[in-house]
């Protein structure tokens, strides 16, 4: 077995910043992924995208990776989307594979008052972008697929509102929650619903990306889970998270692991194997323990 303990790549600034914090939560995360191949196989190089994202609202205090059977030292790297991930290179055959990641993260929700004042070019939809943001907009606002249905749905949402970006986003979020989430929902449908939500936003020239991460269970929920939500880029406010399956904005119970334009780019574990045609048996266990919750107004965050 190999174990790798990783401290955050970016050190925290050595000064104090005063921010308007609504809630601070410290989470202990444990993700166990088991694969039983049934016979000896050779695993090809594998990417593991289960390192919590660094960014506003989250402080990754430590992360530890364990792999069984033993592999040479995993390589910590960034993929093309800037996500932190491990590359595993196996030097021997294996019958069973076990990957365990444990992390400690601090998440806080900041008051959105005063931070969602949009740039003049972004107040209405279809959205216009400043020249300095055009490269980002050209990539993230370009739909992946040509869907007349989503274009029509987005147009109907816009025409039924007041034409402002905030109104469109809120109505689009509620529209997907009401009409696109199937009664018998599963992981596949949740992912596809979020993808469609992002695509609909892109038809109005709103940059959108997909986020895979943990949804920590709240008091009225049964278990924590791995799921996908969306982030929309609103000039003046930045990237804001939305969960069309739940019909809500993202809060401190969402812990991001990877972000990209398409679903295939945020696969939690990406790899292949050779040696058998049997379908492997897989099992995933996610344990999230909440250590500290602090309600606060103006807090000092080191």
pLDDT in tens, 202-231: 999 999 999 999 999 876 566 788 999 999
Q: What pLDDT, on a 0 to 100 scale, did the predictor assign at position 114?
A: 42
Helices (H) and strands (E) in the chain, counts: 4, 16
3-class state of residue 182 by DSSP: coil
Percent of the chain with pLDDT over 90: 67
pLDDT band at 98 (very low <50, low <70, confident <90, very high): very high
In the predicted structure, residue 83 carries a pLDDT above the cut 70: yes
Q: How many whole angstroms separate alpha carbon 163 and alpha carbon 121?
A: 13
In the predicted structure, residue 182 carries a pLDDT above the cut 80: no
Q: How many whole angstroms separate alpha carbon 202 and alpha carbon 189?
A: 20
| 84 close to 55: Cβ distance less than 8 angstroms | no
Average pLDDT, the chain: 85
- The backbone region for 163, taken as left when phi is positive above 0, alpha when psi lies in -120 to 50, beta otherwise, is left
Q: How many whole angstroms separate alpha carbon 128 and alpha carbon 110?
A: 27
Residues 6+ apart with CB under 8 A from 236: 116, 117, 118, 119, 122
Domains of the chain: 2-110+266-294 (2.60.40.2250), 120-261 (3.10.620.30)
Burial of 91 (0-12, 13-18, 19+ CB in 10 A): exposed
Query: Which H/E stretch holds residue 34?
Result: strand 17-43
pLDDT band at 187 (very low <50, low <70, confident <90, very high): low
Span of 53-67, 183-197, 276-290 with lowest mean pLDDT: 183-197
In the predicted structure, residue 88 carries a pLDDT above the cut 60: yes
Q: What is the pLDDT of residues 35-47, one digit of tens each?
A: 999 999 999 999 9
Span of 5-14, 150-159, 164-173, 213-222 with lowest mean pLDDT: 5-14
Q: What pLDDT, on a 0 to 100 scale, did the predictor assign at position 113?
A: 40
More confident residue, 196 or 11: 196
Q: What pLDDT, on a 0 to 100 scale, did the predictor assign at position 217?
A: 86
Task: Show the DSSP H helices in the chain as ranges.
Answer: 134-140, 148-159, 165-179, 187-202
> Mean pLDDT across the stretch 120-142?
91
Task: List the beta bridge partners of residue 36.
Answer: 96, 281
Q: What pLDDT, on a 0 to 100 scale, did the predictor assign at position 73?
A: 85
Q: What pLDDT, on a 0 to 100 scale, did the predictor assign at position 231?
A: 97
Residue 180 corresponds to which tokens in the numbers above?
């696109």
Burial of 11 (0-12, 13-18, 19+ CB in 10 A): exposed
The tokens 């402080």 sit on which residue? Answer: 59
3-class state of residue 160 by DSSP: coil
> Mean pLDDT across the stretch 173-191?
76
Crossing angle of helices 148-159 and 187-202, in 10° steps, is 60
pLDDT band at 19 (very low <50, low <70, confident <90, very high): very low
Q: What pLDDT, on a 0 to 100 scale, did the predictor assign at position 289?
A: 93
């Amino acid at each position: 077995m190999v174990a790798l303990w990783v401290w955050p790549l970016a050190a925290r600034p050595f000064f104090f910043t005063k921010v308007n914090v609504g809630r601070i939560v410290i989470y202990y995360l444990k993700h166990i992924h088991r694969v039983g191949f049934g016979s000896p196989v050779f695993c090809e190089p594998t990417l593991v995208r289960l390192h919590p994202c660094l960014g506003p609202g989250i402080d990754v205090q430590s992360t530890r990776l364990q792999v069984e059977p033993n592999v040479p030292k995993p390589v910590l790297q960034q993929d093309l989307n800037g996500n932190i991930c491990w590359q595993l290179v196996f030097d021997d055959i294996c019958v069973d594979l076990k990957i365990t990641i444990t992390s400690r993260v601090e998440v806080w929700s900041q008051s959105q008052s005063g931070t969602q004042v949009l740039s003049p070019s972004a107040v209405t939809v279809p959205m216009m972008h400043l020249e300095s943001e055009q490269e980002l907009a050209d990539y993230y606002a370009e739909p992946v697929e040509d869907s007349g249905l989503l274009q029509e749905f987005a147009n109907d949402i816009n025409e039924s509102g007041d034409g402002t970006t905030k109104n469109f986003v809120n109505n689009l979020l509620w529209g997907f929650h009401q009409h696109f989430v199937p009664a018998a929902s599963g992981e596949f449908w949740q992912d596809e619903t979020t993808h469609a939500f992002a695509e609909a936003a892109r038809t109005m020239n709103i940059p959108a990306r997909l986020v895979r991460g943990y949804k920590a269970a709240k008091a009225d929920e049964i278990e924590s889970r791995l799921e996908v939500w969306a982030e929309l880029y609103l000039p003046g406010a930045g990237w804001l998270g939305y969960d069309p399956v739940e019909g809500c904005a993202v809060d401190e119970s969402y812990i991001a692991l990877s972000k990209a334009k398409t679903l295939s780019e945020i696969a939690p574990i990406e790899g292949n194997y050779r040696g058998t045609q049997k379908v492997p048996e897989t099992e995933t266990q996610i344990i999230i323990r909440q250590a500290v919750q602090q309600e606060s107004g103006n807090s000092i965050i080191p």
